[in-house]
């Protein structure tokens, strides 16, 4: 089970740019579950090479994956994972910020 971080407890405080969305009941966002340098790089390539709708972008990752290569507008949510492989992605659902009512989950390696 993932232990939520401060980002999942109060995303609007940690990410002031998204604070206005916290008031909306159906805050929509695009969420990439990814960990490890290779997959974070794939997320960055996807964001740079795609025409994504104008929704906030989130990456849910583990505690140790570097995320510096992601664009500045991407909000990072970190969780403590106990599982590995595909099962880890299921743990990430517990880390979605509560402000998100609808999430488009994009998996960059499939």
Residue with tokens 């969305």: 21
What is the spatial distance between Cα 77 and Cα 14, in angstroms, rounded to a whole number? Answer: 10
What is the spatial distance between Cα 48 and Cα 31, in angstroms, rounded to a whole number? Answer: 15
pLDDT tens per residue, range 80-94: 888 787 788 888 888
pLDDT tens per residue, range 1-39: 555 554 444 555 555 555 554 455 468 999 999 999 999
């Amino acid at each position: 089970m993932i232990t939520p971080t401060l980002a999942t407890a109060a995303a609007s405080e940690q990410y002031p740019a998204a604070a206005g969305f916290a008031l909306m009941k159906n805050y929509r966002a695009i969420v990439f579950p990814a960990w490890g340098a290779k997959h974070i790089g794939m997320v960055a390539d996807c964001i740079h090479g795609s025409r994504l709708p104008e929704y906030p972008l989130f990456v849910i990752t583990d505690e140790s994956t570097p995320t510096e290569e992601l664009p500045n507008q991407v909000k990072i949510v970190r969780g403590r994972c106990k599982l590995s492989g595909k099962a880890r992605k299921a743990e990430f659902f517990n880390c979605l910020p509560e402000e998100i009512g609808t999430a488009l989950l994009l998996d960059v390696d499939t």
